[in-house]
Amino acid sequence: MLEINDLHARLTDGREILRGIDLSVSAGEVHAIMGPNGSGKSTLAAVLAGREGYEVSQGTVTYLGRDLLAMEADERAREGLFLAFQYPVEIPGVNNMYFLRTAINAQHRHRGEPEIDAGQFLRIVRAKLRDLDIGEDLLQRAVNVGFSGGEKKRNEIFQMAMLEPRLAILDETDSGLDIDALKMVARGVNQQRAPDRAIVMITHYQRLLDYVEPDRVHVLQGGRIVQSGDKSLALELERRGYGVVEDAA
Amino acid sequence: MSAVVDFPVKPETRPYLETFGRARHKCDPDWLTGYRNRSLARFAELGFPSRRSEAWRYLDLHRLEQRPMLPVGSGTAVVTSALRAQLAEIGLAEPAHRLVLVNGSFAPELSRLNQLPSGVWLGPMATAIADRPDLVRAGLDTQPQDRPFASLNAAFFADGFVLDVAPGVALERPVEIVHLSDHDGGGSLHTRSLVVAGRDSRATLVEIYAGVGEYWRNDLVELRLGTGSELARVTLVEEGAEALHFGETLATLDAASRLSNFVLLLGGRTVRHETTVRAEGEMSRCDLNGAFLLSGRQEANILTTVDHVAPGGETREIFKGVATGRAHGAFQGRITVRPGAQKVDANQLSRNLVLSPRAAIDTKPELEIYADDVKCSHGAAVGDLDEAALFYLRARGIPRDEARRMLIEAFAREAVDLIEQAALRKHLQSRLARRLATLEE
C-alpha cells in the first residue's frame, strides 16, 4: 500500500529533517513509528500528507501504485489518505457538519459516486458518533473552535471514521490525552482495522500501544528509521529509553 | 435657470445645472421648489469632491467628471418581464410589505402595500410630499450641507419611500424596499427616502438595490428614531456590473433608541456607502455592521460616522471586507464622543481579506474623544486566508478552490450572522453564497 524509499526532505530554510527513510506498509497492517522529539516524526507525516513548506530532495513514495509526491494534498486525501493532525486547526465560521459533508462529497465526486444528501449523511453521522461515544453537540459547532485538547483529538478520530480512509496516519494523536480520551482514540483506531486498510501511528510514548497492538514498530531517529521490530520493540523502548537504540544504531 | 445663475459654479456641475432648468418638478409645492433650488446652488458651489477630501480619497471620480451622468426624470415605471425576474431573484421569498421602485420611480404593480397594520404609513415619497408634507419637511434643513451628492440628490430626486411608524406600534414583519433598474442610458437615478420611528415603536426594514446596465444611483435615506424606538435595517447592494452606486444614510437617535444597521455590498462597479449617525439622546444604542465582497475591477467604500452628543450611548461596529482580482475596498469609520457625553461605550472592528496580489483594502478606523469617562476601542486588520486552515480542509479531500471559498464565506458570514431577524439573515447568507460561487479569484 505504501512504499517509502530513501526519502529525504528539508525545510524551506534548508535544514534537512528526513535523511533517507525506508518503510513499507501493507494493507491490513498497523505500524507504529516511535522516536524522540525532533527525530522527524511529524515531518514524515506532513510530507506524506502534502503539507507545503517541505522540499523532498531525494527518494520516492509510492501509494497504491502511484507516485504520492506528485499529487496535491487534497487529491491524496480523496485517494484515501488520512492524516490525523497533532494540532487540529480551529476554523471559525465553518460548521463541523457542513465541513464533513463537503469532505465526504468531494470523495464521492472523485470516485464518480453520487453525493449524499443531508438525511443520509445525518444517519451515518449518528451511527458513527454512537460507535465512538461522542456527543452530538460536536456537529453544531465550528470546526475545532473552543474544543478542548481531548475534543479535538476525538474530532480527528470521528473524521477518520466518517471518511473511511485506505491509509490513516495518526500524528501523535495520543499526546496530551487523559486515559479516557486515550481509550476512545484506541477504540476508534481498532474499529478502523480492516484487511484493506493500513494504519500508521506516530507516537512518542508506548502508552497507546497498550490499547492498539501494532504489527510492526519502527524507531525514527535523526531522520532515519534506525530499528524495526514487532510490538516487543515498543516495550523495550519503554523500559530502556531511546538512548539504547541510539547506541545500537 | 440654466441661462442665469447668480452663484459661483464649478465647471463639472454645469451639465447638471442645465438639466435642472429642463427638469419638470411641476407638482412640487413651493417649499420643495425652494429647497431644490437651494440644494442645486449648494451643489454648484461645492462641485465634485476632490480626492484630497478625506471622505472621497479612496474613489476615483475621474470618469464621472469627464462624462456627466444626467438625472433621469421622473415618470411612470415600465414593468417588463425582465424586471419581474430581477425582483423574483433578489427579493425576499415571502414579502409582507413591499415597495418597489423602478429606475427611481414607484412601481405600484410590483408593490404590496395592502397589509399594513394601523399606525404604519408606507408609500412613495412623491405621495408623501403631497399627503404628509410636514413629515417630509421636518429635518430637511438640519441636514449636513457639506455633501455635494446629497445636495445633487435634493435638487433632483424623483421619488423614494417614506415609512412612518406611529408611537408604540410594533411592526412584526419586515418592510421590504426594492430598487430595480434597467436603465442603460448612462443616466443617474436620484432617490430620497425617509423613515420615522415614533416613540417606543419597533420596525424592521430591508432595502435591496439591483439592476442591469450602466447607471448611477444616488440614494439618500434619512432615519429618525424617536425615544425608545428600535429600527433594524438591512441593506443589500447588488447593482449591475457597470453601475455606480452612492448610498447615503443620515440617522438621528433620540434617547434610549436603538438602530441596528447592516449593509452587504456584493455588486456594482463602484459602490460607496456612507452612514452618518447622530446619537442625540442619552442611552441610545447603535450597531453598524456590514461586509463587502469584491472581485474584478470593483471598488467599494464603506464609511461610518457616529457622533455621540449625549451621555451613555453605545456603538458596536463590525465590518468585514474581501477583495480579489484587481478590486479595491476601503473602510473608514469614525466615532466621535463630544464633551459631556460621558459613559459612552464604543467599539469598532474592521477585518479584511485580500486574496490576490493586485487587490487592495484600506482601512481607517478613527476615534475622536472629548469626554474623559468613556470606554472606546477599535481594531483593524488586513490579511490573507489562514494557510493552516486551508491545509486542514484540503487534507480532508476538499479541493483548493472549494476550500478557499469555504474560508472566505466563513469570514464574511461572521458579519452576516449578526443580523438578528432570521428571514433576513438567511436571505443575505444565500446571496453571499451565490456571489461566492461565481467569484473569480
Is the CB of residue A26 less than 8 Å from the CB of residue A1? Answer: yes
State the Cα–Cα distance between residues A157 and A33, nearest whole angstrom.
18
Per-residue pLDDT for B412 more than 80? yes
Phi-psi region of A45 (alpha: psi -120 to 50; beta: other; left: phi over 0): alpha
| Neighbour order of strands in the sheet with A2-11 | A16-25, A2-11, A54-63, A66-67
Query: Cα dist. A136→A100, A127, A187 in Å?
Result: 14, 11, 18
Q: What is the pLDDT of residues A49-96, one digit of tens each?
A: 999 999 999 999 999 999 999 999 999 999 999 999 999 999 999 999
Q: What is the pLDDT of residues B287-315, one digit of tens each?
A: 999 999 999 999 999 999 999 999 999 99
Nearest to B394 among A73, A99, A107 (CB): A73
* Structural domain boundaries enclosing B416: 75-437
State the Cα–Cα distance between residues B278 and B42, nearest whole angstrom.
22
If one counts every other C-beta atom within 10 angstroms of the C-beta of residue B32, the result is 18
DSSP single-letter state for residue B112 = B
Which ipTM did the prediction report? 0.95
Q: Average model confidence (pLDDT) for chain B?
A: 93
State the Cα–Cα distance between residues B434 and B104, nearest whole angstrom.
26
- Please count the residue pairs, one from chain A and one from chain B, whose beta carbons lie less than 8 angstroms apart: 75
Q: Average model confidence (pLDDT) for chain A?
A: 91
Contact A102 B388 (CB under 8 A): no
Per-residue pLDDT for B416 more than 90? yes
Length of chain B: 441
Distance from CA of A49 to the nearest CA of B (A): 7
Instruction: Tell me what pLDDT residue A243 has.
Output: 67
Would you give the end-to-end CA distance of chain B in angstroms?
50
CB under 8 Å to B226, separation ≥6 — which residues? Answer: B167, B196, B197, B198, B199, B200, B201, B254, B257
CATH superfamily ID and name for A2-87+151-248:
P-loop containing nucleotide triphosphate hydrolases (3.40.50.300)
Give which of A91, A105, A160 to mutate to test B binding, by max B Cβ within 10 Å: A91
In chain A, what are the domain boundaries? 2-87+151-248
Q: Let me know if residue B354 belongs to a domain.
A: yes
**What does residue B247 show for φ and ψ, rounded to 5 degrees?**
-115, 130
Q: Let me know if residue B375 belongs to a domain.
A: yes
pLDDT (average), residues B359-365: 96
Q: How many domains does chain B have?
A: 1
Contact B394 A72 (CB under 8 A): yes
Nearest to B392 among A52, A78, A85 (CB): A85
What stretch of H or E contains B44? helix B30-46
Which chain B residues have a beta carbon less than 8 Å from that of A110?
397
Name the residue with cell 494557510. Answer: B387
Contact B399 A107 (CB under 8 A): no
DSSP alpha helix (H) spans, B279-421:
387-394, 400-416
Between vectors from CA B346 to CA B341 and to CA B349, what angle results, nearest 5°? 155
CA gyration radius, chain B: 21
> Each residue's pLDDT tens digit in chain A (249 positions)?
999 999 999 998 889 999 999 999 999 999 999 988 889 999 999 999 999 999 999 999 999 999 999 999 999 999 999 999 999 999 999 999 999 999 999 999 999 999 998 889 999 999 999 888 888 888 889 999 999 888 899 899 999 999 999 999 999 988 888 888 888 889 989 999 999 999 999 988 888 888 999 999 999 999 999 999 998 888 888 777 776 555 444
Per-residue pLDDT for B195 more than 90? yes
Query: Cα dist. B132→A153, B29, B157, B164, B384 in Å?
Result: 65, 12, 17, 10, 51
Instruction: Tell me what pLDDT residue B440 has.
Output: 73
Which chain B residues have a beta carbon less than 8 Å from that of A88?
392
State the Cα–Cα distance between residues A97 and A109, nearest whole angstrom.
18
What is the model's pTM? 0.89
Measuring CA to CA, which residue among B245, B248, B240, B178 is closest to residue B208?
A: B178
Distance from CA of B384 to the nearest CA of A (A): 14
